[in-house]
Amino acid sequence: MKKENPSILQLGKFYPIKGGVEKVAYDLMTGLSTNKIHCDMLCATVAGKGKTIRLNSYARLMECHSWGKAAATMIAPSMITVLRKVCPSYDIVHVHHPDPMAALALALSGYKGKVVLHWHSDIQKQKYLLRLYRPLQDWLLRRADLIVGTSPVYLDESPFLKNVQQKTVCLPIGVPPILSEPEAVDKIRQQYGGKK
């Protein structure tokens, strides 16, 4: 019997949210889960030993203890062991790139299901470290069933994505809708009278 909705595990950089990649992962998790799609996130914690936070009936955030941060990457070896243990429960693993720790954890997990690679950016600052990471990055590109980019221009111009264009799709980063606040609107109308 086929499941109605897939269960998704995102591999994020860290929590609490400090930057754009983490915010995108968190927004995807909360958005999917509020639509009754199971979507969890596994990431390194900035501080502490790690814990699991239940966000709602369809989402939980699994923090893994980290040793610290080096070259914009959280060093969290426990992500490897946790992912090996939990990955059979998921239909899709969604990796947010660049994150060498997440790529390494996936490579060592034995996971056999579908992989979505969210390509947020090329590695640009750590050019020397990229030489070490490049074989793992190339493996991740081959392993991915789908590669998501945030703009068509970026997908076309990234030198790393040239040979995998058939697997790419553009999904722009979402922006929360601006909702009208009737009280604030009334206050402005009163303040400025009949002006447009």
CA distance 6 to 145: 15
Q: Which of the two residues, 16 and 91, has the higher pLDDT score?
A: 91
SS3 67: coil
Give per-residue pLDDT as tens, 115-160.
999 887 776 666 667 677 788 889 999 999 999 988 888 888 888 8
Work out whether the CA dihedral 38, 137, 133, 110 comes out positive or negative. Answer: positive
For range 47-56, the mean pLDDT: 77
Kindly provide the residue ranges of all beta strands, DSSP E only, lying in 65-193, ordered along the sequence: 68-70, 73-75, 92-97, 114-119, 146-149, 168-170
What percentage of residues in the chain have a pLDDT greater than 90? 14
Q: Give how far Cα 49 sits from Cα of 12, 63, 64, 161, 172, Å.
A: 17, 8, 7, 36, 34
Chain-centroid distance of CA 131 in Å reads 23
Which residues pair with residue 118 across a beta bridge? 96, 148
Instruction: Name the helix (H) or strand (E) containing 83.
Output: helix 78-86
- Asked if the 8-192 domain carries CATH number 3.40.50.2000, the reply is yes
Residue 43, φ and ψ in degrees, nearest 5: -155, 170
What 8-state DSSP symbol labels residue 57? T
Q: Report pLDDT for 121.
A: 73
Q: Render pLDDT for 8-34 as a digit per residue (tens, 0 to 9).
A: 888 877 665 666 777 787 888 888 888
* 23 in Cβ contact with 7 (< 8 Å): no
Predicted confidence at residue 1, as pLDDT, reads 43
Task: Say what the pLDDT of residue 158 is.
Answer: 87
